[in-house]
Chains A and B, each alone.
Chain A
Amino acid sequence: MILANGIVYPGDKQDELLDTLEEKLVNTLQNGRLNVDTVLDAFDRISRKVAAGELNSIIDEIDYEGKEEMIDQAIRMMGREYLEYKIQVELGSSRLYEKKDEGALITQRVPLGVIFHIAAGNMDVLPIMSIAEGLLAGNINILKLPSVDQGLTVKVMKLLLDEAPELTDYIYVFDTPSSDVAAMRRMADLSDGISVWGGDEVVKAVRTFAKPGTRLIEWGHRLGFAYISGYTDEEQELRALAKHIMVTKQLLCSSCQVIYIDTEDYAEVVRFSEKFLDYLEEAAVLHPVTEIGAVAELSLRRYVHELDTIIEGNQTPDAKGDEQVFRGRLTSVTAMKNPELELSYMYGNVLVKPLPRKRIASVLRRSKGYLQTAGLICREQERGELSEILLRSGLERVTRAGDMSSYFDGEAHDGEYALMRYSRITNIER
């Protein structure tokens, strides 16, 4: 499905529509600008409709654990009050189109122009959010849908256009498959910036076809971890961490893959692992994993890896050697000696590693570019100092362990404010 000119077209119209797209974009840019108030009003009306249950037919298509919570959050985040707050936080005193007198110059923030969004499929609402941010910064948006999109994005965009037909020329959605590099290159060539959500492969691919001079706004995949150095309320904190792990299933970039213990003593890592398994099992009963295909694949990979070690190794691996696995009925905790930040087997299979605080920077720097969230468990008086060390080592968020994937109003994303990246500062000489 393609959305262009406010009309839904079948996917095979792609090339035909791309042939005339440049002319349309140029016309839009030449003849006026997007009033951000229009965007705010439209989202505010949708927010009210969702709250009133008028859009349940669309919402029913979303399938998440914690959906109710997410919908409440969406209602709030599409509301005018929140969006204005977001603009205030992200753009501060230099709001869009606000002219400021800077001596000989008039300074004004304006939209970047045309943004090509390449959205990943790990969250149903992500393409919608990406376009919303593009609109809030006044841009024309071209979106390539993730292959897993079931039509939700186009439906919501259509809804938005019903509320505000003025946005018609600012939203284009294509269902181009990722293999159609030629079409993506055409879209990229028409754009001033490319906002790409995805893993290394996607980001690398985009870099190959983006022209120098096109602003690359990369929201790459990250690895999250928890850092434990003492407790304020051990039971409550470990329970919150276990819940976080099972609720996010370790699938988000902010999810906890590794639990670091502030120690040099591997025996302590082992003791913690054994203890934490009980917390994790308890959380898994309350928040069970339902994706058995994925769980099975990961169990198999793990077993294949084990056989590789056996076949290639000259002796049988010593279970008490480099790692020790504590396996529950639904989850597992692996105590490891090496401190590297790495992806776990997810779905409730967490890794535990030693990382004494004096080595935090040296270990984490090796993962720079992949760092984002650390869930910190420690004594209250040390929180400030440990947070600072983590930030200096490259982290962008330090939260309480249970809140690693929580959204906080006004927070930056991957160390940046999207609205700043989606706009530019201009000067006019008086």
Chain B
Amino acid sequence: MSKISKLFAVKDVYNPEASDALYVEAMRENCAFSYNNCKEYQKILDAKGFKPKTITKMEDIERLPFIPTATFKRHELYSMPKHRHFIKATSSGTSSGIRSKVALDFTGCLHALRMVFKVMNQRHVISLRPCHYMVLGYKPNRHNEMAVMKTAYGFTWLAPALSRTYALKYSNGSYAPDLEGIINAVLKKGRGRAPVRFMGFPAYTYFVLKMMKDRGLSVKLPEHSMIMLGGGWKQFYKEAVDKETFYQLAWEVLGIPEDRIVESFGAVEHPVLYLDCPHHHFHVPAYSRVFIRDPHTLEVLPYGRVGLVNLTTPMIKATPLLSVMTDDLGILHNEPCPCGCKSPYLEIIGRVGLKDIKTCAAGAAKLLEGGMDK
């Protein structure tokens, strides 16, 4: 059994001490594979004077040359031939329309599946109770390879689906928001006995809640209903809404308590699932290690300091995603959390940028603006 597979089999997902040694070995294993099979990756490591076999401790992973998400947009970096690309995923891109091209291999996807079940179980997200899904995101269509869409759709299998209603519908070659459709469905399905699950972009979920509140509409959704958020809160900065306000609104309008609001975080270039704990902290799971880097020197910073978020994982072999530098600014906290998880937790506080922030979810916010103007 490979070290990577062993890592994905660890029992204690949120106890880094228990998995540190295995993590280092799994990274070395993947690094050697990527180095030998991806010409571009080899060039980068050579240019930086880094040898895969020198990975013997956690600090060596700090030294491992990281690859910014932008590089996956500009180059095709693959360590496996195309026929072994089990899933092709693209990021939701920026206004430039250029998306990351990332391929996931079959074994990597099996690991992912294992990870999803383990992580999801921590928040009791997996259930056999059939429910209605309100997807505050894209309705799948065969022209769309966006990972945000795949994730939201994938999440609708965590409990059997009675129905799926989508906020972004594809027609005539583009997506248009249909929040009215969601509101109608919530009012109708919310009166039944089956729980309702919301999935998708926080911004859309917030807009739906806000529209309902402004119109004096509310329902008490059945027990076990929940809200799953994913895709980032960035566009909230403009709306000046904090999470507390959001939780309050969810309780007022839908009767969903705060502990049934679960947020996930992930990126195409780092397909490890981060789920927040009941205290809404994103603890780093065994499959990943996070470094925060100085915005100027790109050197690793200590806990508690703001910097660029560098995510590492040995999960995927088809693309060298070992150490990926995101566009996010964040802080890694190492204070004890009341939830009991021993691993540090990541707080995303913003995004790099020269002026207006463009993100995965901002593209959606822009679409929404356009839709409302008409």
Residues of A participating in the B interface, judged by any CB pair closer than 8 Å? 121, 148, 289, 292-301, 303-304, 307-308, 310-311, 313, 316-317, 327, 329-331
Contacts and interface: CB of A to CB of B under 8 A. Distances in A.
A96 B304 CA distance: 61
Nearest to A147: B356
Contact of A294 (B40, B75, B354): B354
A316 B40 CA distance: 11
B329 interface: yes
B325 A308 contact: no
B249 interface: no
Nearest to B67: A307
23 contacts: A289-B296, A292-B295, A293-B352, A295-B295, A296-B295, A297-B354, A299-B297, A299-B298, A300-B68, A303-B68, A303-B325, A304-B70, A304-B71, A304-B74, A307-B67, A307-B68, A308-B75, A311-B40, A311-B43, A311-B44, A311-B71, A316-B43, A331-B296
Given A303-B298, A327-B297, A329-B297, A296 B47 contact: no
A297 to B, nearest CB: 4
User: Nearest 8 A-B pairs (CB), nearest first?
Assistant: A296-B295, A297-B352, A316-B47, A296-B352, A310-B47, A295-B295, A292-B295, A304-B70
Given A296-B308, A296-B352, A303-B68, A310 B44 contact: yes
Main SS class of interface, B: mixed
A221 B24 CA distance: 50
A242 B25 CA distance: 47
Interface in B263-304: 295-298
Contacts of A330: 296
B325 A300 contact: yes
Interface string B335-374: 0000000000000001111110100000000000000000
Nearest to A332: B296
B89 interface: no
Contacts of A327: 297
Nearest to B48: A310
Nearest to A329: B297
Interface residues of B, number: 28
Nearest to B49: A316
B47 A317 contact: yes
A329 B297 CA distance: 7
B306 A292 contact: yes
Interface of B: 40, 43-44, 46-47, 67-68, 70-71, 74-75, 295-298, 306-308, 325, 327, 329, 350-355, 357
Contacts of A289: 296
Interface of A is mostly: helix
Contacts of B68: 300, 303-304, 307
Given A292-B306, A310-B44, A299 B296 contact: yes
Nearest to B327: A300
A330 B327 CA distance: 20
A294 B353 contact: yes
Nearest to B355: A148
Nearest to B43: A310
Contacts of A316: 43, 46-47
A292 B329 contact: yes
Contacts of B352: 293-294, 296-297, 300
B93 to A, nearest CB: 16
Contacts of A331: 296
Contacts of A329: 296-297
A272 B357 CA distance: 37
A296 B326 CA distance: 11
A72 B307 CA distance: 36
Contacts of A298: 354
Contacts of B353: 293-294, 297
Contacts of A292: 295, 306-307, 329
A293 B351 contact: yes
A301 to B, nearest CB: 8
A308 B74 CA distance: 8
A303 B298 CA distance: 9
A310 to B, nearest CB: 4
B72 to A, nearest CB: 10
Contact of B307 (A296, A313, A317): A296
A330 B296 CA distance: 6
B75 A311 contact: yes
A313 B363 CA distance: 34
B322 to A, nearest CB: 14
Contact of B329 (A148, A293, A303, A308): A293
A307 B351 CA distance: 21
Nearest to A295: B295
B303 to A, nearest CB: 17
Given A293-B352, A307-B44, A299 B71 contact: no
Given A289-B296, A294-B354, A310-B47, 6 more contacts: A148-B355, A292-B306, A299-B297, A307-B44, A311-B75, A313-B43
A295 B354 contact: no
Contacts of A303: 68, 298, 325
A73 to B, nearest CB: 26
Nearest to B357: A293
The CB with the most chain B CB atoms within 10 A, among A121, A304, A308, A331, is that of A304
Residue in A148, A297, A298, A313 with the greatest tally of chain B CB atoms within 10 Å: A297
Contact of B71 (A148, A293, A307): A307
User: Which of B67, B70, B352 has the most A CB atoms < 10 Å from its CB?
Assistant: B352
B220 to A, nearest CB: 36
A10 to B, nearest CB: 15
